[in-house]
Structure 1
């Protein structure tokens, strides 16, 4: 089984506990799910990105929350 580059990057960031990178990577995954019109998958990834953003005081925390809120997931 081969993994796509985003999945590889997510696994690598988890392996070294790079939470700031995980924010961006999970947001990227959410963007891909949004493009595929898979709102449940988008929100799954957004939730992960938001949690890591909260933990790291990331500048995207409000943007991620707003996206979750627009989808009724808050």
Structure 2
């Protein structure tokens, strides 16, 4: 299984990144930078098959909405084109 290795230390979860994507996401999450998180997810979607792209774009869309970013609509349109978001 891919992803980050997770170790528990008390109540805090410490993750060891296994890829540049993981490292970038962990850093952006730690900084609370929702705009950067959305950008990272959107960029990751560019390099994926349709199903994986939909996964990453969904995350980009949610963080863009949460941050009030205008890119949210672009991400939504991309999800519609992938068949992962209803048109209505």
More helix by share: 1
TM-superposed deviation, 1:49 = 0.2
Q: Which blocks of at least 5 consecutive residues in structure 1 are unaligned?
A: none
Root-mean-square deviation over aligned CA pairs: 1.5
Separation in structure 2 between the aligned mates of residue 32 and residue 58 of structure 1, nearest angstrom: 22
Structure 2 segments unaligned to the other structure (5+ residues): 6-16
Report the TM-score, using the length of structure 1 for normalisation.
0.85
Tell me the TM-score normalized by structure 2: 0.72
Query: What's the secondary structure of 1:22's corresponding residue?
Result: helix
Tell which has more relative contact order, 1 or 2 (C-alpha 8 A, sep 6+): 1
Aligned residues: 70
Q: What per-residue deviation string (whole Å, max 9, x for no partner) do you get for residues 26-54 of structure 1? A: 00110111xxxx11100000000000010
